[in-house]
Structure 1
Amino acid sequence: MRPMAVAVALASILPGLAQADEMLAPVTVNGPSGSFAALEEMGSVTRVDGESAREATGPGGNSPSKVIENTPSVNFQSADAYGLTEVGFHETLKIRGVGQTGPASSRNINDLPVTGNPGGSKGILDMENVAEVSLYRGAAPVDKALGFSNLPGKINLQTLAPREEAGTDYRLTVGSDAYRRVFLRQDFGRHGMASGFLSGSYAEGDKWKGEGGLERTNLTGGLRLDVGQAWQAEVYAGYNEDARHTYRFFDYATASNFANLKRDWGTDPSRVDYFDYNRQDFTDRFLFSTLSGRLAPGLRLSFKPYLLDESGHYWFSSINKTDPAKSRVIDWMIDHDIKGAVTELDWQVSHAALLKAGLWLHSQQPPGPPVTQRKYRATADGLAFDGWSVLADHERHRIVSPYASLFAAFDNVDVEAGLRYVDLRLGALTAYNNSGAAATLSDPDAARAAGGVNAMASAEARTLDAWLPFVGLNWRLDRQTSVLAHAGRTYGLDVNLFPYYYAQQASFKAKGVSFQSLWDRLELETADNLDLGIRHVREGWHAGATVFYALHQNKQSTIYDPVADARYPWNVADATRYGIELEGGVELTPALT
C-alpha cells in the first residue's frame, strides 16, 4: 500500500522518532502500516515497510528516493516519472532543504555506506529485496547515518533476509513509453543452519521525451547462517548494469517557458547536442555482510565489512553559449571502488542499559573530484578526440571513525548519549598538463606521462576532523504518546574545488594562486541540530509534530574572487535553518493507508 502522508513542512524535515535498542524490548503501539514512526524512536526517523516501499517506488522498482518523496520535508526532483534518472550527476534530493555533499551517497544499506556518488551505485538494490526503508533527518544516533557526509540525514535500506520457507516472488510491470520490467526472487528455505535466495531483474524503456532510453540488469544473492544466540552471519552480493540516456539540462528561462516541455537533445550526430552524446553506463559489483556472535552473557561482537567496485562513463554535452565553437562532448571516465568495515561491541550492562563501542573504517577511490575527462569535437564524421578537459590522478580518501554510546531506559523515559569522532583524510591530488603532446593522446596513462605534473594545480593529502555528539530523550506520557528531544552534530564536505580550479587555472596562475593554497583552507561543514517533537499513535492512525533548528558552520557557496578573477566553491558561510512540521496517517482499509 502506498502511504499518503498528511504533512505540512514549513522549512524542511519530518519528525522522526528514534530507535531504542531491540535488546531492551521497547514499548510499541500498533498503528497503521505503510509509512510510520514508532513511539520508541530516539531520532528523527520515519520508516516505510517493504510492501509500502514497493508500491511507492512504482514501476521503476529500485529508487529509494521515490519511496520517501512523499514523506514530509523531502524534495526529490527526478527527470522521469519513475525516479530513475538524475538531473545532472548528483542526487537531486533535499532533506530539510539541504542536499547531500559529494562524494557521498544519501543512502546506506544495512546501515553501511556501500554506495557512492557520482556513479551508478545508488540503485543497486531492487525494492523487492528491501524489508524497510528508513529516513533519518538531521542528527542520528552515532552508530547510524555513517558516510563521507551525513549533513542532511540519511536513507537506510534494510535488506530482506533469506526466508525460512522456500518460495518464489515475481513481478512483471509494463507502462507507457515501452517501459517493461521483470523481477524474480527464489528463496530456497532453511536447511540446517543455512538459508539463502537468488534474485534477478531486467528493465528497459524509452525516454518520455526525445530519443534514447534505459536498460538495467541486476543479479543479487543472499546467504544466512544462524545457530541461535551463539553466532549469526548474513552475506549479500550482487552485480548491476545500468545504462541510460539523460535529459537535456534547462536554465531557469528555458524551464519557465512551457513551450519547451518536450524539448530535449537533438538527433544530428554532427552537432554537439546529439542525444547519444548524453548518456551514462555503469557496471557495479558489490558485497556486504554482517557477522555477529556472543562473547559472554550480555556481550556481543559484530563485524560488518562492505565492498563496491564500479566502472563506467558519463557522456555529456558541454555547451558554451558565449562561443558555440568552444562547445565539446565530454567523456567522464569513472573507475573506482569503496571498501570498509564497522566493528561494534555491545554490552548489555543491565536489563535497562546498553553500552556500545565501535570503529568504522572506510576507504574510497575518487571520483569525486573528477580526474579523467576526455573531450571531443562533433564533426560530420562523428566524434573527434580533442584533448583532455581534466587530467589528474588522486589518492584514496580515508575515514577512521570510533564511536561510543550509552542507552538507558527508566520507567517512562529513555535516554541515549553518544559521541563519534571523524578523522577524514583527503587523498593527495596530482594534476597533469593537458596541452602539447598530452592533448594528442587519448589514453590517460600515456597522456599523463607526456604532459608531466602540473604543480600549481596539485595538492598534498589533507586531514580534517570533527567531533559528532548526540543526545536523545524519549518521554512516554502514556502508551499512545511520546515526547521527543534530541540534539547532535552532522558534517559534510564537497570536493568540487578542483574542477573549478583546473578549468580556470590560467586566471589563478596569472595571480600566483596555487591549488594547494586553496586546498589548505578547506574546512568541514558542520551543522548543530536540535529537534523537539511529539508523537501520538492509535490503532489505525497516528499524528505528530516536530520543531527543528540547525546552525551551520563553514557552509559551502560558490563565490567570485576579484583577486584571482575566478569563481569557485568556498566554505565561508554560516547559515541557520528552522521550521515546524506536522504529519499524520490513517489506515482507511487494510489495503489503503
Structure 2
Amino acid sequence: MKFSKLTLALMTAGLAHGMAYAADSTESDIGAIKVEGKATQGGGYMVPEDSAKSRSTVTKEALDKQTATGNAVDKLKYTPGLNISSEDATGLSGFRFTMRGMNSDQVGMSVDGMPINDSGNYALYSNLLGDPENIEQIFVTQGASEADGPHIGSSGGNIGLVTLRPTKETGAFVKQSIGSNATRKTFARLNTGEINGLSNWLSVSHEEGDKWRGDGTVRANKVEWNSFFDAGEGNTANLILKYHKQENNSYSQLTKSQYTQFGRRYDPYPSVAARNGSGKITSYYGLAQNPFETFTAVFNTHFKLADNVSMDVIPYYYYGNGGGGGSSTSALNSGSSASGVYDLSNLASAATYNADGTPNSGVYYRLSRTQTWRPGITTKLNWDLGEHSLQLGYWFEDARQRQTQPFIGIDTAGKPDSIWPDSHRVSDANGQIVQGRNRFTETPAQKIWAQDTWYINSDWTLNAGLSFMNVERKGHNHGSLTEAPVDRNQTYNKFLPNAGLKYQVDDRNQVFYSVSRNMRIPQNYALYDNSPESIGLKPETSWNHELGWRFVEPDMTLSASLFYMQFKNRQVSSKDINGDAADINAGAVDNYGLELEWSGLLPHDFNYYTSYTYTRSKQKDDLQVFNKGAAITLPTADKQFANVPEHMLAANIGYDNGRYYGTFGGKLTSKLYGDLTNDESIPGRVVFNLGTGVYLPVDKRVFKSATLRLNVDNLFDKKYLDGVYTTKTNSATYSGFRDGDPAYIVGVERTVTVALEANF
C-alpha cells in the first residue's frame, strides 16, 4: 500500500501528537467496557424526531450492519424519499440519487457543517464522504431547507454527516474486510484518550478491488484526523481533517438498447485498444481513468459568551484535484486549433500522423481536470430569551475552480504516460500547455439570516426565519482549441423565508407544518455555453410545503408526511456536445407525494423498519428546444420528471440478542423514465439484502469487543438498470429532432462482503 508524501506527513504528525498525549495519560480501563449488541427500534434506521419538518436519521448501529465497504450515501438506501443508484459495492465509484423528485445535484450535502457539493455543478462524489467507520450518524431533511445551510445549489432538503467524536479512553479499532471481485479494505483508528480536555483520533485505510463490469480496478487511501477540546463551561472546539487519494478506472454507462442486447456485464470500453483504418488507437479501457485527491478541514467552535448567549464559528477549507475521462483518444495535430489561441506549428499534420504507421502518434489521453480551492466560514450567534430563541448568522465562501483538458501521450498499447495531468502534457510552439478546455470560475457567495424559535406554550412551537443569499459567478474562459478567451459574470440574489409550526397533541402524538423557499444557482457551465438560453439561465426556485404527523411509544415510532414542492425554472442536469455537464431549463414542475416511516420492537429480540414513498413529479410546461435554428415544442406537460420513481417501498427485519444479529431487507422501486417526454423507461425492480454477524467472545484483558460480519447485497442477483445517468429531453423523434438515448447506471450484481473488526 502506497501513500503520498502529504498522507505520510499527516500520519506522522498525527501519530506523534497522539502518542505525546497518550504517554501522559494515567487513565486505564482495559476490560471495563463491555460492548455488545441489542435489539433497538428499527435497528438504527429510525429515531424519534422533534423538529417542525420531515427528518430521518440513520445511526451507527444501522451503518455498521450494512456492507462494510459501502459509502455514506449507499447506507441511506431504505430512507424514505431517497432513490439511490451506485456503480459498485466498494463505495469508491460513482453514484446518483433522487430525493422527493430532486436530483442529487439539487440536494445540499454537508459533513460536520462543511458543504461538499461541487462548487461548479453541485455534483456529489464518494471521495468526499470519508470512511464510513468514522461516521456517527447521517441525517436527512427531505424537503424543508435549513436556515443555516451553506449551499448555493440546494432546491430543498439536506443530507448531513456527523463524524464520530474521539473517546475519552485510549484505544484502537481495526477492521479487515474482503469481498467479491477481489475487494479488500484495511482500516485502523487510534484514540489517544483525553488529556486536559483534549482527545484525538487518527485513522488510516486502504481499499482496492476489481471492477465488476469491464476491466480495471478501483483503489483509494484515506487518512482522517479528529481533535476535540472541551475547555469547560460550554466552550468546545473540534478540528476534523480528511485526506483521500484514489486511482480508479471509470465505469461505463449503458443505453437501454445496449443493456438489452448485450447484458449487464457489457462494457463498451475495450480491453484491448481499438484502432481505426489508419491503425491509430481510438479507444481503450485504460484511458477511462478517474484519479482524484481531496483534502478537507473543518473547525467547529462553540463559545459560551453568557448564560443565555453563545456563538458558533465554523471555518472550513476544501481542496480538490483530479478528474475523469472516457475511453476514447483525442486527436491533436498542427491543424487542431480552431480558435487561434495556440500555435501548433511544432506538431505534424493529421495526414502525416495517419501515414506514419505508429498507433499512438497524434492521439492522446485527455482528462477533464478540475482543481478547486474553497475556503469558507459560518458564524452563528444564539440568544436564549426564554420563550424565544434567536439565531443570527452569516456565511461566506470564496470558491475558485479551474477546469482544464491537457493532452497527455500514450504508449503503443494505449496506456497513458501519466494518469495525473501534471506531467507529459503537450505544449505548443510558444510553450503554452495545449488545452481542450481552459476555464477559471470564481464564486463568492454569502448568506445572512435571522431565525426565531418561539415556544408559545408547552404544546406549541413556532419557527420563523428569513435569509438573504447573494452569489456571483465570475467566469474566465482563458481560451482553448475551440474557444476564444472571454469573461462573463452573473449575479444572483433572493430573499428566502421559512416557517414551521409544531403542536404536541399529547405524550405520543405530534403534528407539524413547514414552508420554505429555496434557490439553486445555475451551474458554472452556463457562463461558458455560447447559447443565449444557457447564459441567461435563471436560478431555480422552489416553495416547499410539508404537513406531518409523528407517533412515538417506547416500542414503536411512526411518522407520515405529505409534501408539495413548486419549482420555477426547474433545472435538469445533462451533457453538452463536449461531454461537460450542462443544465436544461425544464420550466415549472410540481413535486407532491407521501412519505411513511414505521419502526419498532418485536418479541424475542426482533425489530422492524419499513418506509414508503409516493412521488408525483409533474412537469407543468411543454419544453421548447432548438434544432438547426428551428424551434421545436416537445410534449412534456403533465409528464413525470425523468429518473423519479412514483413508488418506493422498503422493509427490513432485524434480530439482535447480544451474541448474534441478523438483518433481512428489501426495496421495491417502480419504473423510471429516461427522458422528459416519457418516451423511454426502465422497469421497476425489487432488490433484497442480507446481513448477519456474531459478537465474538474475547479476552477482556486484551480486547474490548470483536465482531465478525457477513453481508450479501442483491441476494437473489437481480438483473436491472438502476437509475438515469444522462437525462435526455426526448428519445423519440419530434419534428425531425431526437436528443439521443439516455444512459443508465447498471444495477450491481450479487456482492458478498466479510468483515472482522476489533476494539482494543
TM-score range, shorter chain: 0.7 to 0.9
Cα distance change on mapping 1:265 and 1:460 into 2, 3 Å: closer
1:268 deviation in Å? 1.6
Contact 1:78 1:84 in 2 (8 A): no
What residue number does 1:373 align with? 405
Q: In 2, Cα distance between the equivalents of 1:114 and 1:570?
A: 23
Count of residue pairs brought into register by the alignment = 510
Alignment partner, residue 372 of structure 2:
336
The structure-2 alpha-carbon separation of the partners of 1:109 and 1:479, relative to structure 1 and needing over 3 Å to count, comes to same
Matches within 5 A, 1:311-460: 311-317=321-327, 330-350=366-386, 352-366=387-401, 371-374=403-406, 380=412, 382=414, 390-409=436-455, 410-434=457-481, 454-455=484-485, 458-460=486-488
CA distance in 1, matches of 2:123, 2:559: 36
**41, 51, 56: which is aligned to 2:51?**
41
For 1:376 and 1:240, locate their aligned partners in 2 and report how far apart those are by CA, in whole Å: 24
Please show how residues 251-266 of structure 1 align to structure 2 within 5 Å: 251-257=255-261, 259-266=263-270
**Matched residues in 1 for 2:145 and 2:117: separation?**
19
Deviation for aligned residue 1:570 = 4.3
Shift of the 316–429 alpha-carbon distance from structure 1 to 2, 3 Å rule, reads same
CA shift at 1:260, angstroms? 4.6
Candidates 204, 228, 247, aligned match of 1:224? 228
Deviation at 1:31, TM superposition (A): 4.9
Matches within 5 A, 1:527-566: 527-556=542-571
Q: Residues 15-34 of structure 1: matches in 2 within 5 Å?
A: 31-34=41-44
| Cα distance in 2 between the residues matched to 1:316 and 1:185 | 36
CA RMSD of aligned residues (A): 3.1
SS of equivalent residue, structure 1 residue 256: helix
Q: Which amino acid aligns with 2:394?
A: L
Q: Partner of 1:135 in structure 2?
A: 140
Distance 1:174 1:295 in 2: 50
Shift in Å, 1:187: 1.0
> Which of the residues 78, 84, 92 maps onto 1:84?
92
Q: Distance in 1 between matches of 2:575 and 2:447?
A: 35
Inter-CA distance 560–279: structure 2 relative to 1 (3 Å threshold): closer
In structure 2, how many angstroms separate the alpha carbons of the residues matched to 1:393 and 1:261? 36
Paired position in structure 1 for 2:61: 51
Paired AA for residue 111 in structure 1: G
Distance 1:121 1:78 in 2: 10
Name the structure 2 match of 1:449. none
Q: Please say which of residues 521-530 and 264-273 is displaced more in the overlay.
A: 264-273
Question: Any stretches of 5+ residues in structure 1 without a counterpart?
Answer: 1-29, 436-452, 502-513, 562-566
1:293 is the counterpart of 2:298: no
Match of 1:309 in 2: 319
Give the SS at the match of 2:73: helix
Counterpart selection for 1:526 from 534, 541, 546: 541
Contact 1:272 1:328 in 2 (8 A): no
Please give the secondary structure, in 2, of the residue aligned with 1:36.
Answer: coil
When residues 377 and 576 of structure 1 are mapped into structure 2, their CA distance, relative to the original with a 3 A threshold, is farther
Could you tell me which of 242, 246, 254 is aligned with 1:242?
246
Q: SS of the residue aligned with 1:254?
A: helix
Q: 1:307 Cα shift?
A: 0.6
What CA distance in whole angstroms lies between the structure 1 residues aligned with 2:573 and 2:191? 51
CA contact (8 A) 1:39 1:537 kept: no
How much has 1:264 moved relative to structure 2? 4.8
Residue 513 (structure 2) aligned to one of 485, 496, 511 = 485
Distance 1:195 1:491 in 2: 39
Distance 1:239 1:258 in 2: 39
- CA–CA distance in structure 2, aligned partners of residues 558 and 349 of structure 1: 45
The reply on whether 1:187 has 2:188 as its aligned counterpart is no
Structure 1: distance between partners of 2:299 and 2:43: 28
**CA shift in 2, pair 1:162/1:379, >3 Å:** closer
For residue 417 of structure 1, give the secondary structure of its aligned residue in structure 2. strand
Q: Distance in 2 between matches of 1:378 and 1:255?
A: 30
Question: Which of 580, 584, 589 is matched with 2:598 structurally?
Answer: 584
Secondary structure at the aligned position of 1:53 is classed as helix
Q: How far off its partner does 1:120 sit?
A: 5.2
Looking at structure 2, the residues matched to 569 and 281 of structure 1 have their Cα atoms a distance apart, in angstroms, of 25
The structure whose Rg is larger is 2
Which has the larger displacement, 35-44 or 209-218? 35-44
Instruction: Give, in whole Å, the separation in 2 of the partners of 1:207 and 1:568.
Output: 28
TM-score for both structures, normalised by structure 1: 0.79
How far 1:142 sits from its partner (Å)?
0.4
Task: Please name the residue that 2:75 is paired with.
Answer: 67
1:282 partner SS: strand
Secondary structure (helix, strand or coil) at the match of 1:101 reads: helix
Structure 1 residue 97 displacement after superposition: 1.7
Cα deviation for residue 560 of structure 1 reads 13
Deviation at 1:421, TM superposition (A): 1.2
Query: How many percent identity over aligned positions?
Result: 21
Report the 3-state secondary structure (helix = DSSP H, G, I; strand = E; otherwise coil) of the residue aligned with 1:67.
helix
Aligned residues of 2:113 and 2:314 also touching (Cα < 8 A): no
State the secondary structure of the residue aligned to 2:65: helix
Contact 2:284 2:328 in 1 (8 A): no
User: Secondary structure of 1:276's match?
Assistant: helix
Question: What code does the residue aligned with 2:99 have?
Answer: I
| CA distance in 2: counterparts of 1:583 and 1:518, whole angstroms | 41
Task: Call closer, same or farther: CA 1:431–1:252 in 2, change over 3 Å.
Answer: farther
Aligned counterpart in structure 1 of residue 130 of structure 2, from 105, 125, 129: 125
Aligned 8 A contact 2:291 2:323 in 1: yes
Q: Which amino acid in 1 is paired with 2:158?
A: K
Confirm or deny: 8 A CA contact 1:100 1:152 kept in the other structure.
no
Tell me the residue number matched to 2:707: none
The residue type equivalent to 1:466 in the other structure is K
Aligned pair in 2 of structure 1 residues 549, 389: CA closer, same or farther (>3 Å)?
farther
In structure 2, C-alpha distance between the alignment counterparts of 1:494 and 1:193, rounded to whole Å: 45
Give, as a single letter, the amino acid of the residue that structure 2 aligns with 1:479. Answer: D
Q: 2:202 aligns with which of 182, 193, 198?
A: 198
- The answer (yes or no) to whether the contact 2:313–2:380 under 8 Å persists in 1 is yes
Q: 1:344 to 1:482 in 2, by over 3 A?
A: same
Which residue identity does 1:135 align to in structure 2?
Answer: V
Residues 511-532 of structure 1 show CA distances to partners (whole Å, capped at 9, x for unaligned) of xxx56x5565221101101011
Q: What one-letter code is carried by the residue in structure 1 that aligns with 2:137?
A: E
Distance 1:244 1:520 in 2: 34
Amino acid at match of 2:404: T
Counterparts in 2 of 1:124 and 1:454: CA distance versus 1, 3 Å: same
Distance 1:484 1:256, change over 3 A: farther
- Following superposition, the deviation at residue 123 of structure 1 comes to 3.4
Which residue in the other structure is 2:650 paired with? none
* CA deviations over 1:287-341 (Å, ceiling 9, x no partner): 1011121112200111101111111231323599xxxx99985311222121101
CA contact (8 A) 1:418 1:470 kept: yes
- Per-residue CA distance 1:455-498 (angstroms, 9 max, x = gap): 5xx34221101222111122111212211211111222342645
CA distance in 2, matches of 1:297, 1:167: 36
**Deviation readout 1:203-237 (Å, 9 max, x if unpaired):** 11111122111111111111111122252111111
TM-aligned CA deviation for residue 568 of structure 1: 7.0
- CA change 1:433–1:208 in 2 (3 A) is closer
The match for 1:18 is none
Q: Distance in 2 between matches of 1:301 and 1:558?
A: 38
